[in-house]
A and B are shown apart, each in its own frame.
Chain A
């Protein structure tokens, strides 16, 4: 298959189209605006629906409506915009509707910056809206990986009836990389497969067979049962859907944990240190919810591993999940940059060498 040099935003948008998405609702916000721009040109070509909402709150509620019909629906935004979407996301999770949500993270808090950052990990993974819910959340580290995940994102969303969140960042959206674009999936809503979808009642239909899209349960027992169901789905997802990458960790004495584009900087540091005889490796979560807890323990909780270093562009968010997984069995150090300042390979190397000396 031929490789095409594409900008991240446009490649991810096209991948969603190839995966069968025909509904996009968005709003301008740097650094993700090329996604709605691309969709505004592409969707009409395929008879799809591109609508620029008046705000991110409106956009996520349009997703709520369209996803209720069983269609493949996607929206994208960046950090402050995703904050505005939290209530809607909680409703969609409560109503068990599949959809895909992209967060192209930028610096925070507040208006923050327009450059890349990793500051929305907590919001995405711990749930930024109200109530007990989770989103199947992936943190791609390259444009190709984002494309590959997109090609199964809708299938997973529909299998578990859960929203899928991409925690990408401004770098992935704005850089260009050669990518392989998969073939177009032939997708059509099949009411038989989605009895829950509100595909419209027609005269002659069985009046009792009605699909009601809802997240309200006035009766608390019913709400409790509903939550039990959601939790059982989340357990299923935790069992089946963890994704991670081990890079040169087989004989590593120090394991670095990192996600997204920061993990690529860590890889450079690992390669250079390996050349200097330092036994260091990278553990990279690809699904950040469900967090690859067992995989991390299998990698880290071995005698040869002396210490763990978590590297992020935030004040230490995935760090907590790393610590929870390791549960105190190995020392976990942290090397973080704040705002939108990405660490350099040299900085990470130096931090690892300092750790090695202290061992």
Chain B
């Protein structure tokens, strides 16, 4: 008997409290597996001077109240990895409009749909932070299908490797569904993400000084 897939020991055995279909659970697993593999590959031993430092943030946090802070973390080239989960809404406080909420998207604080003339078009954080000299590696991913899930994990692991080498500020933006607050079943939410979020937030690498140097 060989194992094709099993939960990594680094992930808690406590059941997640997220809503059914919430992509946070997928992203948590990718982060835990990436760390697990770095340990297996000997890239993350106790002696590593910097050690692995990462933040896990949502859009209400990073693109709103924490905008100044994330810009200056990138500006200083802080040696951290930021996992930025963009679900175009404030999930935890119950579905309010976020700076990443799409134009026309209805939320509990944009009941008539986000009005660009009134509160602007959604912020593209990966593109924005890629302009900051101190940022080293920035990629936007999604976990809407098997291929993208595998790509997201590669990106997270790559960012962690750069961080362990002390290269500078790395951010992986992961588009994510919020079924409950979008008012959609989990499967429909994935479809909505593919048809609405990915076109506005194109997936891809927005900065990779490592590749540029090669």
- Whether B112 lies near A28 (C-beta < 8 A) is no
Complex contacts, A33 vs chain B, CB 8 Å: 93-94, 96, 108
A56–B60 Cα distance when bound, in Å, is: 13
* Candidates A28, A40, A51, A56; contact of B90 at CB < 8 Å: A28
- Whether A28 lies near B109 (C-beta < 8 A) is yes
Tell whether A41 is near chain B: CB-to-CB under 8 Å.
Answer: yes
Tell whether B150 is near chain A: CB-to-CB under 8 Å.
Answer: no
Name A50's closest neighbour in chain B (CB-CB).
B109
Tell whether A130 is near chain B: CB-to-CB under 8 Å.
Answer: no
A33–B110 Cα distance when bound, in Å, is: 13
8 A Cβ contacts from A37-58 to B: 37, 40-41, 44, 50-52, 54-56
Q: Per-residue CB proximity of B65-93 to A under 8 Å, as 1/0?
A: 10100000000000000000000001001
Q: Given A51-B119, A52-B119, A54-B67, check contact A28 B110 (CB 8 Å).
A: no
8 A Cβ contacts from B93-125 to A: 93-94, 96-97, 99, 108-112, 119
Tell whether A86 is near chain B: CB-to-CB under 8 Å.
Answer: no
- Whether A28 lies near B60 (C-beta < 8 A) is yes
Tell whether B57 is near chain A: CB-to-CB under 8 Å.
Answer: no
8 A Cβ contacts from A17-50 to B: 27-30, 33, 36-37, 40-41, 44, 50
Tell whether B64 is near chain A: CB-to-CB under 8 Å.
Answer: yes
* Candidates A30, A37, A51, A54; contact of B65 at CB < 8 Å: A54
- Whether B96 lies near A54 (C-beta < 8 A) is no
Q: Given A51-B119, A54-B67, A55-B64, check contact A29 B93 (CB 8 Å).
A: yes
User: How extensive is the interface on chain A, given as a class?
Assistant: 10 to 19
Name A58's closest neighbour in chain B (CB-CB).
B65
A37–B90 Cα distance when bound, in Å, is: 12
Q: Given A28-B60, A28-B93, check contact A54 B109 (CB 8 Å).
A: no
Helix, strand, loop or mixed for chain A's interface? mixed
Name A44's closest neighbour in chain B (CB-CB).
B112
* Candidates B94, B99, B110; contact of A54 at CB < 8 Å: B99
- Whether B65 lies near A55 (C-beta < 8 A) is yes
* Candidates A29, A44, A52, A55; contact of B97 at CB < 8 Å: A52
A150 → B minimal CB distance (Å): 21
Name A114's closest neighbour in chain B (CB-CB).
B93
Name B90's closest neighbour in chain A (CB-CB).
A28
Complex contacts, B67 vs chain A, CB 8 Å: 54
Complex contacts, B110 vs chain A, CB 8 Å: 40
A40–B96 Cα distance when bound, in Å, is: 10
A106 → B minimal CB distance (Å): 12
Complex contacts, A54 vs chain B, CB 8 Å: 64-65, 67, 99
Complex contacts, A51 vs chain B, CB 8 Å: 119
A29–B64 Cα distance when bound, in Å, is: 13
Name A45's closest neighbour in chain B (CB-CB).
B112
- Whether B119 lies near A28 (C-beta < 8 A) is no
Name A49's closest neighbour in chain B (CB-CB).
B118
A41–B119 Cα distance when bound, in Å, is: 15
A112 → B minimal CB distance (Å): 15
A273 → B minimal CB distance (Å): 41
- Whether A40 lies near B64 (C-beta < 8 A) is no
6 pairs from A and B in contact (CB 8 Å cutoff) = A27-B64, A33-B96, A40-B97, A54-B64, A54-B65, A55-B64
> Residues of A at under 8 Å CB distance from B?
27-30, 33, 36-37, 40-41, 44, 50-52, 54-56
> Residues of B at under 8 Å CB distance from A?
60, 64-65, 67, 90, 93-94, 96-97, 99, 108-112, 119
Q: A37-B108, A50-B109, A54-B67 are in contact. List 8 more A-B contacts (CB 8 A).
A: A28-B60, A28-B93, A40-B111, A41-B111, A51-B119, A52-B97, A52-B109, A54-B65
